[in-house]
Structure 1
Amino acid sequence: MELKKYRLDEDALALIPEFKNGRQFTKVLTRNGMLLVEEKQEEILNATLLYYGASLRGARDGAKSILGKIKKMPIMVNETLGHYWFPVISPAKPVCIWLALHHIISYESIDKTHTKVWLSGGSFIIVPISKKSLEEKIQRTCTLRYEIETRTARATEQIREQRTTYEVSKHSGQLNYTFQQVESKEYMNR
């Protein structure tokens, strides 16, 4: 099936470049088959991130703030769904393949420069990197996921622990708002 636009969903396993009539497309490997999309891999990633209220640049900036300045930066596409993706080689290269971390089942070395990766649903892909290099990319992506999930859990816990409540108001003719501490019970009775 050929599509003009596509957003990643739960079934997407890999984004693979496809060149046709001098143009770059993307083959999306899914658990249910293959789709040909008239967009580059990064356009699909950006469209998906925009759908969730982010952008590819924002995802990269966020990952960079957590992982530091590294090449071939993994990204979080959707934290709630647990969707983290990473490029196999430099995303600047048109032949770059992107893999969904949550769909990698296992992998094994074929030779010094190729690794076979088994994905959900029984498909596999042979990627043009060593097993060690793939493991590093998977580890970086797992670190990104762990840090984001840990920070989110910590922030959620801090919200639950908040015990001080305030009434915030601004009176006519006043420039600033006033803050007055109120009993938690007053808040709970509403």
Structure 2
Amino acid sequence: MINNVYLTSYEVTPLTMAIVADYDDNGDPRTIVLEEQEKFIVHKSPTKIIEDACKFFGSSLKGRQEGTRGICGITHKAPISIDPSCGMYFFPTASPMKPKCSWIAHSHVEQMNQYPHRQTEFIFKNGWTMLLDVSFGSMLNQVQRTAQYRYLLDNRLKYVQRNNADMVAEPYA
């Protein structure tokens, strides 16, 4: 892992693996962002970083959560798609209203392992690992719910692309 880089803001990309709630030595909240080749420390909450990413792609976190509810009925700790065309699907580790909520990129998770004391180890596709204070059962459920949501949304998008390939939106004359 490359040395810590401190930022005041961060833009989520397909390289983003995890957006993790953390605290500095003074107990002040901060976020650790893991990318495939780099680690950043950002002075914003994880959920604020996710909210900014949703806005960058033309929605809001609430809008993305409502979309998840409409597609597959998930109402609590809903996974979201920041940008489905780039495969950016994230799931929260707790209620996004809680400061300890972290966000994990579904496509980067290779494996998870159960640890004692309600901890879960995430192993990412690049080989990096991360241990979080979250229940393994809850995280297994989050991964499965995200996979289901991803499947349903991807199928809808493919259907629209197949059936509307010849239709182009044009302004009224």
> What TM-score, normalized by structure 1, do the two folds share?
0.79
**1:5: which partner in 2?**
9
Compared CA separation, residues 18 and 132, structure 1 to 2 (3 A): closer
| Structure showing greater relative contact order (alpha-carbon pairs closer than 8 Å, 6 or more residues apart) | 2
4+ residue runs over 3 A deviation: 20-23
| 1:130 equivalent among 131, 135, 157 | 135
| 2:20 equivalent among 16, 21, 27 | 16
| 1:110 equivalent among 112, 115, 123 | 115
- Please give the residue correspondences for 1:1-190 in structure 2 after superposition, counting only pairs within 5 Å: 1-20=5-24, 21=26, 23-111=28-116, 113-160=118-165
The share of aligned pairs that are identical, in percent, is: 25
Unaligned runs of at least 5 residues, structure 2: none
Give the number of the structure whose alpha-carbon radius of gyration is greater.
1
- Matched letter for residue 17 of structure 2: L
**Structure 1: how far apart are the matches of 2:66 and 2:141?**
20
> Any idea what SS the aligned residue of 1:121 has?
coil
Compared CA separation, residues 100 and 155, structure 1 to 2 (3 A): same
Q: What is the RMSD of the two structures over their aligned residues, measured on CA atoms?
A: 2.1
- Matched letter for residue 4 of structure 1: T
- Matched letter for residue 95 of structure 2: S
Unaligned runs of at least 5 residues, structure 1: 163-167, 171-190
Question: 1:137 Cα shift?
Answer: 0.5
The answer to which structure has the higher strand fraction is: 1
Indicate conservation of the 8 Å contact 2:14/2:87, yes or no. no
> What TM-score, normalized by structure 2, do the two folds share?
0.86
| 1:136-178: CA deviation from partner (whole Å, max 9, x where unpaired) | 111111111111111111112221477xxxxx987xxxxxxxx
Compared CA separation, residues 50 and 31, structure 1 to 2 (3 A): same
